[in-house]
Structure 1
Amino acid sequence: MKIVEFKKELLTNWVYNGLEKDILGSDILPMAEFYSNLGGVYIGLVDERVIGLGGIFKLWQGIGGCFLFLNKEAQGYKKSVFKAIKEYLADLIEKYDIKILSAECMDGINEAENLIKHLGFTKERELKIHRYIRR
């Protein structure tokens, strides 16, 4: 897997969770553009096809967060994807001088939990979240 800096042009369409989507019309693109102003956003490519999008952002001095979206195609390259992400993440932590990095995933998604553990994160606690919407 090759990791490159975020460029909108590379995301004209990709397959996410088995559905071919135009990412330009999804919520992922505005989020990626927002986080690119706070840190770095990157795209994972295999044979010039987008298989993932992720980033790291600085919240405060020494404290940051990260996010990652992988499509189903990434499962076929699990070892190389995990290795590339782990190495790149280590470089980004050093580049942005991050001492504490936060990662979250939804409960019950074992693959996400396994990846997070593989990347060196330890479970701090489970959060119960109530989401409110005003229309």
Structure 2
Amino acid sequence: MTTVTSPLTGRVVGLANVPDPVFSGAMVGPGTAVDPVREPTEALAPVDGIVVSMHPHAFVVVDDEGHGVLTHLGIDTVQLNGEGFELLVNKGDKVVRGQAVIKWNPAAVEAAGKSPISPIVALEATADSLGSVREDGEVQAGGELFSWS
């Protein structure tokens, strides 16, 4: 069983409320989303594992059980070409839950006309393999979002 924790402090809004049909339709996978606080912050690793994909706006960490967790910082943020994002780790690095992975500013993303709402998705999972999925309420970075069996 993998516990997936929030990479961000903010308000849990659930995948259905992500302003992108690929995420809201769970086409990438099941999970939830966080509307982050509007201040410079660090996105944290949601699980212990290896960083297998690293972009300024998104990263994937695969844990020892082979579960890949995608953290996507905002919607359409790839269009910012990395501006306002600072990578703190590299692809291939081993990370521990709660370790800072990317520095970014959700307020700057919003000012650039993009949504800072950030999906946290269980890749190659089925909805019934997730438990205790948070869909609402305030969350601190490191707070539990869902479990994955």
TM-score by length of 2: 0.26
Bigger RCO of structures 1 and 2 (CA < 8 A, at least 6 apart): 2
Higher percent of residues as strand:
2
What is the TM-score of this pair, normalised by structure 1? 0.27
- Compare CA radii of gyration and give the structure with the larger one: 1
More helix by share: 1
